[in-house]
Amino acid sequence: SGNVVGWAKDTNLLFGDSARKLADEVGVDVVTVQTDALRVREAADENAKTLGLLVRGDQYDILKPAKDGWIAIDYENETGYVQASFVESTFRIDAGETVAEINQREEEEKKAIEQAKKEKAALAEKIQEEARAKDAALAKAKKARELATAAEKKAQEKKAQEAKRQEAEAASEAASAESAASVDGGATEGTKEAAPAQDESAAADVQALQAAAAAAEAEAKAAENAAQTAQSEESEDVKLLASLIYCEAGNQPHEGKVAVGSVVMNRLNSPAYPNTLAGVIYASGQFTPARSGKVDRIYRGGNIQADSIAAAKEALAGSAPVGGATHFRRKGNRQGTIIGAHVFY
């Protein structure tokens, strides 16, 4: 099996029809593109509508064997046709691993886990820093608003007091004008001119404090936006699982996407599969998009379908619309839970 050569008890093996039956259930026929660019057609005809373009090394599940030079493949959950002369057809099934291969895979998984931990810790620290900056900015804005409010209140009180003083002075001047017409009005005029100057100074103080409050509020808003941006960055596990979900069920209903994620999680929780998410997804002979490199392209591109992100989060949180199913394929003769175009078993 694979590169493994050894001995096993007959009681643990299947032979003949029993082996072929199990192989048909867990294995799948795939095509591998052998040319730089290959069109996927809507029908087995060179003039049919083009559904997409494949590149060398891409792998897709076969739906129907070759006929008249064409092979029907599962292209993004639709039936597409490619010319048989430009692809290589093989039967893919789980294969054994040598101790060296297991050690290498586990070492790669270990490195991936450590890297994910570092990135997760860095993200957590970034979120904390943004939260602290947000709190400080909000406190600063609150203090500035309080100072501006207090200054405005003080200015209004001062203005009211000055108005009362001027009113009292005016009444006093009117009363004394009749008995002392020779009183010099210069001092009065000087007093009257001082009031507007005092009003202007108070208004300037209020405006300065209001400007400071507005600046502090803008700073707080910027900190809040930065914190929200940091919190929106998805974890590596979410992104990786969402990338696979998009590749396997991008055009399926939301429940179908969650179901694909649930299959991955069921494998992760099973002792029969690797014990890391990356290990499950990239395990030998498992998911075609992972083997062909499509999952990597989606993951690195970063533009992952929002519904696939949501489905990945639900699956990671424990949602299990297909129970303990560990496999899925295009619906057909296989018994199981049918959601959209897939049967889960």
pLDDT tens by residue, 1-23: 667 788 888 888 888 888 887 77
What three-state secondary structure class fits 94? coil
At 306, the pLDDT band (50, 70, 90 cuts) reads very high
Per-residue pLDDT tens digits for 65-91: 878 899 999 887 788 999 999 999 988
Asked whether 263 and 328 are in contact (CB, 8 A), the reply is yes
The pLDDT score that the predictor gives to residue 44 is: 93
Q: What is the mean pLDDT of residues 172-194?
A: 59
Strand residues in the chain grouped as ranges (E): 28-33, 37-41, 50-55, 59-67, 70-75, 78-83, 87-92, 328-330, 337-339, 342-344
Asked whether 325 and 336 are in contact (CB, 8 A), the reply is yes
Cα dist. 74→79, 260, 330 in Å?
5, 16, 8
pTM higher than 0.75:
no
For 39, phi then psi, to 5°, come to -80, 140
Asked whether 127 and 230 are in contact (CB, 8 A), the reply is yes
Per-residue pLDDT tens digits for 196-254: 555 566 666 667 767 776 777 777 677 666 655 544 455 889 999 999 999 999 889 99
